[in-house]
Amino acid sequence: MPCEVIKIPGGATAIVCSRGSRPRPVPCHYCGKPTTILCDFTGPIAKKTCDRPICENHRDKVGPDLDHCRLHREAKK
């Protein structure tokens, strides 16, 4: 928990503690809307997931807890 010392006019001092700043939502790769979904497509060679941030409108649900972005939805066809 970070704390900050603040000097108050008149000679007083205050100590303010917080949990820190909230993380900013990640924008969708296609439209910029906030999102918490990442593309789960796994490449055939690198064996890494795409992890492109996508919103509800741009996700392609391919299985339980599996979503693909527009690029990988079109690549599957």
Convert the pLDDT of each residue in 25-73 to its tens digit: 899 999 999 998 999 998 878 788 999 999 999 999 998 989 999 988 7
- Residue 41 included in any domain: yes
- Residue 14 included in any domain: no
- Residue 37 included in any domain: yes
What was the pLDDT predicted at 33? Answer: 93
Contact 75, 43 (CB under 8 A): no
What was the pLDDT predicted at 76? Answer: 65
Task: Residue 67: name the closest of 55, 47, 77 by CA.
Answer: 55
- Domain of 63? 23-76
CB neighbour list of residue 70: distance below 8 Å, 6 or more residues apart: 30, 54, 58, 60
Specify the number of domains making up the chain: 1
Burial label for 33, CB within 10 Å (0-12, 13-18, 19+), is middle
Q: What SS3 class is residue 14? A: strand
